[in-house]
Chain A
Amino acid sequence: MVVDSYKFLPRSFRPYYEGRGPFPGEEGPVWAPFAKRLAESKIALLTSAGLHHEGEQPAFDLDRERAEPDWGDPSWRSIGEGPVGVAHLHINDADLLADPEIALPAKLLAQLAAEGTVRAAADNHVAVMGYQERSLAGWRETTAPAIVAFLRDQQVDGLVLAPA
């Protein structure tokens, strides 16, 4: 069975995604071997669903995106325990608010750690907002290095990235 990548995408949007190839300068393979056993590894999750801890963290900047439709907030949030809000203008957030585990299954990962599938789940995971401006400048210069440092500080061995 081969997944149809465009099954749920409006047909008129398909040309924006199909056959675009790599970004210029990023044609080469991206690879880091995973040397440890899963049962010896600490794992973190990253979602692009725009989650944040409401009342504790600022939401992603949707007002600026409304004013500048080509722009998307390149910042990121640390997601630990506690209720979350959603700031993402490109998806219906009803199911995400009802069950954030569909985007960031932190409780499930903690359960897998308790069962021994992985050694540990990170205490704090990562959320970004998936709609970004095309150059990804903020991501390259600030967001990605900051997330890498955040995960290294937690001694994370592997990261599961989940697009929204």
Chain B
Amino acid sequence: MMPSVAEDRRAPRIVGVEFPFGHAFGVAGDRAMHRRVLELALRVLAGAQAFGTRVDLDVEWPVPLREAYRSWQPKEPSPIVKRLLELRNG
């Protein structure tokens, strides 16, 4: 979900997916999507030749961005986010 962060942090092999947080393998119930992600991950695990190999999966999240952006987030802000918001808002 954040492959550039995985690159920064020196993950040896990376599969990038453009999915909302909490959904590493895709849409709930979409077995075909889960299979595409897992099969690609296995291919990269076994087939990557060198450190830093990154392969991005060309699958678009099938939910409008605004809706997807809202729906992955918890109903209440996490404790650290709550604290940051309080600091920002004085």
Whether B64 is near chain A, meaning CB under 8 Å from some CB there, is: no
Distance in angstroms from B61 CB to nearest chain A CB is 8
Residue A148 at the chain B interface, CB threshold 8 Å: no
- Contacting residues, chain A, for B43 (C-beta < 8 A): 38
Q: Is A60 an interface residue (CB 8 A)?
A: no
List residues of B (9-35) whose CB comes within 8 Å of A's CBs: 9-12, 16-29, 31, 34-35
Q: With A66-B79, A69-B80, A109-B38 in contact, do A92 and B74 touch (Cβ < 8 Å)?
A: yes
Whether the Cβ atoms of A29 and B12 lie closer than 8 Å is yes
CA of A32 to CA of B12, assembled, Å: 8
- Provide the A26-40 mask, 1 if CB < 8 A to any CB of B, else 0: 111111101011100
**Which of the residues B16, B19, B46, B73 comes within 8 Å of A38, measured between beta carbons?**
B46
Instruction: Produce 1/0 per residue, A83-112, CB < 8 A to B.
Output: 000001111110110110111010011001
**A contact residues around B41 at 8 Å (CB):** 160, 162
Question: Which secondary structure dominates where chain A touches chain B?
Answer: loop
Q: What count of chain B residues pass the 8 Å CB interface test?
A: 58
Sampled A-B contacts (23; CB under 8 Å)? A2-B56, A3-B57, A5-B4, A5-B5, A5-B16, A22-B8, A22-B9, A26-B9, A30-B51, A34-B48, A69-B80, A69-B82, A69-B83, A91-B22, A91-B73, A92-B71, A101-B25, A102-B22, A103-B23, A108-B38, A131-B78, A160-B42, A164-B21
Instruction: Give the A-binding residues of B (Cβ under 8 A).
Output: 1-6, 8-12, 16-29, 31, 34-35, 38-39, 41-43, 45-48, 50-52, 56-58, 65, 68-69, 71-76, 78-83
Q: Which 10 A-B pairs have the closest CB atoms?
A: A69-B79, A3-B16, A29-B51, A99-B28, A91-B22, A162-B24, A5-B4, A1-B58, A31-B51, A5-B2
